[in-house]
């Protein structure tokens, strides 16, 4: 088995810095990333008071089209998450979706890309509070292949617990909350695992470091409920629909114990970055027979074909970038 470093090196897009030449949206205009600057006194830089999104667009070489996956849904979630931090967005989901298309066109991408919108407290202030702090909105994009290996990854249950909803809500994509993920993934890498698995403070399975988790036991698909301190993933919702409508499999949302992971026939992670990432070992125990399971394989194949537009179903999930 290769080391985490070797596996990460095989995913070059992650190790490279994002091009300073790329177009970004910052302070209400399109600028080169090199010119999208913030002050070191920025509230969000000091206290993590930002809300972000992660959106993928897939390139279909045959039809020469870039399709953004569930574009509007990401901005609807962002608008809701912004209520937690009491920070307004400059425009509604439809206008933000249009802005994203404009950003992608300007960058003229002809490959898979990732888009990162960011709403944050831009005030130059050290006041630790939420009210009365000037908000701002920025967005950038960059080419991205896999974020996690999709050919069978290893995971580790980490000692860091998922932040509870009453401490730092995991339900919202809050920038500061990702310290929790960084600590967890760092520990997973120390254990030579690709992805971390969080338990809740109550000791049940929550989610991956930057992904939601599903297990298959005796043909039943299960995932932790939204009350298990998870991010309510858009890919999670997509997987649940695909499983129900394409495979006739209803997902059971229930508490999952740690040892159920070891007993499961199949485990996979999903998320915008993670896509559908099968897990073949947890805490050095092989999952099932140690290979990608049949249900995971079918869900993964469906996800990629639909997101890329090779499978025409769910057209409402894809927004074409080019005319």
Identity of the residue, 138 or 272, whose beta carbon is nearer to ligand PMP in the bound complex = 272
Catalytic residue (choose from 37, 121, 127, 173): 173
Task: Evaluate whether 171 touches 208 at the Cβ level (below 8 Å).
Answer: no
Q: How far is the CB of 231 from ligand PMP (least distance, A)?
A: 4
Smallest gap from residue 113 Cβ to ligand PMP (A): 15
**Region binding ligand PMP by CB under 6 A among candidate stretches 11-19, 103-111, 144-152, 226-234:** 226-234
Q: Does 299 bind ligand PMP (CB under 6 A)?
A: no
In the range 260-279, which residues lie near ligand PMP by CB under 6 A? Answer: 271-273
Nearer to ligand PMP, 197 or 295 (CB): 197
Q: Would you give the binding string for ligand PMP spanning residues 168-207, x where CB under 6 A is met?
A: -------------x-------------------------x
The β-bridge partners of 222 are: 215, 252
Stretch that binds ligand PMP, among 14-22, 234-242, 281-289, 307-315 (CB under 6 A): 234-242
Distance between CA atoms of residues 273 and 280, nearest Å = 19
As a whole number of angstroms, the distance between CA 243 and CA 220 comes to 11
CA–CA separation, 93 and 75 (whole Å): 5
Dist. CA 203–CA 220, nearest whole Å: 22
Could you tell me if 87 and 136 are in contact, meaning their C-beta atoms sit under 8 angstroms apart?
no
Under rule CB under 6 A, residue 236 binds ligand PMP: yes
Q: Extract the runs of DSSP E, i.e. beta strands, from the chain.
A: 23-26, 29-32, 50-52, 55-60, 65-69, 113-121, 135-143, 153-161, 195-199, 205-208, 212-217, 220-223, 251-253, 266-271, 275-282, 285-286, 318-320
Residue where the block lists tokens 């130059």? 124
Strands 205-208 and 50-52: unpaired
Rule CB under 6 A: say whether 296 interacts with ligand PMP. no
Instruction: For ligand PMP, give the closer residue by CB, 117 or 233.
Output: 233
Counting Cβ atoms within 10 Å, is residue 275 exposed (0-12), middle (13-18) or buried (19+)?
Answer: buried
Q: Which stretch binds ligand PMP (CB under 6 A): 3-11, 131-139, 229-237, 279-287?
A: 229-237
Instruction: Count Cβ atoms below 10 Å from residue 152 Cβ, excluding itself.
Output: 17
Kindly tell me which of 107 and 211 has the beta carbon lying closer to ligand PMP.
211
Q: Which of these, 244, 140, 148, lies nearest to 195 by C-alpha position?
A: 148
Q: Could you tell me how many residues of this chain bind ligand PMP (CB under 6 A)? A: 14
Residue 24 or residue 184: which is nearer to ligand PMP going by CB? 184
| Least spacing, CB of residue 82 vs ligand PMP, in Å | 15
The nearest distance, CB 51 to ligand PMP, in angstroms, is 12
What's phi and psi for 50, nearest 5 deg? -135, 160
One residue of 22, 87, 211, 223 binding ligand PMP per CB under 6 A: 211
123 versus 194: smaller Cβ distance to ligand PMP:
194
121 catalytic residue (yes or no): no
Residue 287 and residue 154: Cα distance in Å, rounded?
A: 9
Q: Does 117 bind ligand PMP (CB under 6 A)?
A: no
54 scored as a contact of ligand PMP (CB under 6 A): yes
Task: Rule CB under 6 A: say whether 149 interacts with ligand PMP.
Answer: no
Q: Please report whether residue 319 would count as binding ligand PMP according to CB under 6 A.
A: no
- Applying CB under 6 A, the residues found at the interface with ligand PMP are 54, 181, 207, 210-212, 231, 233-236, 271-273
The residues annotated as belonging to the active site are 173
């Amino acid at each position: 088995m290769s080391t985490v470093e070797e596996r990460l090196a095989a995913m070059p897009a992650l190790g490279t810095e994002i091009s300073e030449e790329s177009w970004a949206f910052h302070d209400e205009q399109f600028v080169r990333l090199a010119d999208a600057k913030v002050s070191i006194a920025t509230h969000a830089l000091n206290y993590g008071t930002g809300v972000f999104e992660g959106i993928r667009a897939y390139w279909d070489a045959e039809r020469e089209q870039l399709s953004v996956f569930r574009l509007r849904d990401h901005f609807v979630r962002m608008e809701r998450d912004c209520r937690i931090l009491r920070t307004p967005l400059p425009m509604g989901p439809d206008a933000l979706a249009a802005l994203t298309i404009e950003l992608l066109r300007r960058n003229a991408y002809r490959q898979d890309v990732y888009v990162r919108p960011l709403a944050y407290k831009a005030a130059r202030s050290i006041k630790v509070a939420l009210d009365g702090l000037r908000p701002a909105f920025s967005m950038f994009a960059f080419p991205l292949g896999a974020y996690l290996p999709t050919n069978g990854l290893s995971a580790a249950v980490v000692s860091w617990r998922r932040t509870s909803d009453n401490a730092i809500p995991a339900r919202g994509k809050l920038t500061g909350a990702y310290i929790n993920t960084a600590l967890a993934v760092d520990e997973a890498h120390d254990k030579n695992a690709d992805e971390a698995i969080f338990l809740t403070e109550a000791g049940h399975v929550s989610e991956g470091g930057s992904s939601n988790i599903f297990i298959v036991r005796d043909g039943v698909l299960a995932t932790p409920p939204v009350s298990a301190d998870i991010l309510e993933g858009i890919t999670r919702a997509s997987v649940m629909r695909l499983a129900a409508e394409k495979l006739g499999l209803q997902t059971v949302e229930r508490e999952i114990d740690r040892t159920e992971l070891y007993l499961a026939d199949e485990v996979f992670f999903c998320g915008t970055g993670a896509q559908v990432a099968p897990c073949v070992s947890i805490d050095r125990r092989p999952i099932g027979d140690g290979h990608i399971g049949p249900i995971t394989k079918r869900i993964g194949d469906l996800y990629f074909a639909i997101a890329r537009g090779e499978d025409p179903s769910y057209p409402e999930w894809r927004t074409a970038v080019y005319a």
